[in-house]
Amino acid sequence: MDVFISDCFSQLVQNLTFSLSCRQLFHKLNDIVQYLGFDYYAYSVHAAFPVSNPSFVFYSNYPDEWKKKYAKNNYPIEDPTIIHGLKTSLPLIWRANEVTKQKNFWENAFTHKIRCGWTQSAVLNPHNTAVFTMACKKQIDVSHQLQSHLLTLSATFHNLYTKVVLAEVPDINLTKREIEILKWCSDGKTSEEIAMILNVKKRTISFHIANAINKLNVNNKTSAAVRAVQLKIP
């Protein structure tokens, strides 16, 4: 069956490709989300390492109350849409009031007006897998045309995130000690534990972590460790 791709949607997607920063990318994504009849987007990027404690970054325009509950209850680990996306790239159409498994999660989502949605994932590179979700406050019929639009948007956005956000930054020059400390951070070690492992004072570890955070342009040591993996810094 031939599916019509509207001119307006094509223009919005083309405009998305002109994004030069992560902020621009998600700002323009929000416009497309609204155009397609959805209310929310969620985008999680999962680093493959360390295997024992994989890390991720999470972007969304979900309501603030749902964001707080989502983080407090560690839902990124339990979210069935993310679990599905990390297993397969096949699209998933879901309705919160029709799912029988993990009912506590879905009941909370429904209460916060996360009623239905569409999810698809992609392997961005050997180090990162991303899960892309669009969600609605009300029930929505995912027609063949809408499905086509969603598949186009998903593929385009995954590629753009890789190009704009995960692009290697050649002028980031972490020292061997900073890289070593970030690797311990990614394994879940505290600054005190790393200081004991490396036989140095805690303030020395804090000094190196602060330098790495500044160089990687992130807000904390966890984000620095994730960013280092995403940029394939050895």
Residue 148's contacts (CB-CB under 8 Å, 6 or more residues apart) are 3, 5
> For every one of its 234 residues, what pLDDT tens digit does the chain have, with 9 covering 90 and above?
344 568 899 999 999 999 999 999 999 999 999 999 999 999 999 887 654 566 788 899 999 999 999 888 888 888 999 999 999 999 999 998 888 788 889 999 999 999 999 999 999 987 789 999 999 999 888 888 899 999 999 999 999 999 998 875 556 789 999 999 999 998 889 999 999 999 999 999 999 999 998 888 777 888 888 778 767 676
| CATH architecture label of 7-164 | 2-Layer Sandwich (3.30)
3-state class (DSSP) for residue 21: coil
Structure tokens at 105: 């999660």
Structure tokens at 88: 């397969």
| Integer CA distances (angstroms), 21 to 135, 162, 166, 222, in order | 24, 11, 11, 21
Task: Write down the pLDDT at residue 229.
Answer: 74
Contact 10, 26 (CB under 8 A): no
Q: Where are the domains of the chain?
A: 7-164, 176-230
Task: Write down the pLDDT at residue 136.
Answer: 95
Among 96, 87, 12, CA closest to 46: 87
Contact 76, 56 (CB under 8 A): yes
> What would the DSSP string read from start to end of 108-174?
HHHHTT--EEEEEEEEEETTEEEEEEEEESS-----HHHHHHHHHHHHHHHHHHHHHTSS--TT---
CATH 1.10.10.10 applies to domain 176-230: yes
Among 185, 186, 226, 191, CA closest to 207: 191
User: E-strand spans in the chain?
Assistant: 40-47, 56-60, 92-95, 116-125, 128-136
Structure tokens at 106: 């879905």
In angstroms, how far is CA 182 from the centroid of its own chain? 20
Task: Write down the pLDDT at residue 53.
Answer: 60
Rg (CA), the chain: 19
Task: Write down the pLDDT at residue 2.
Answer: 43
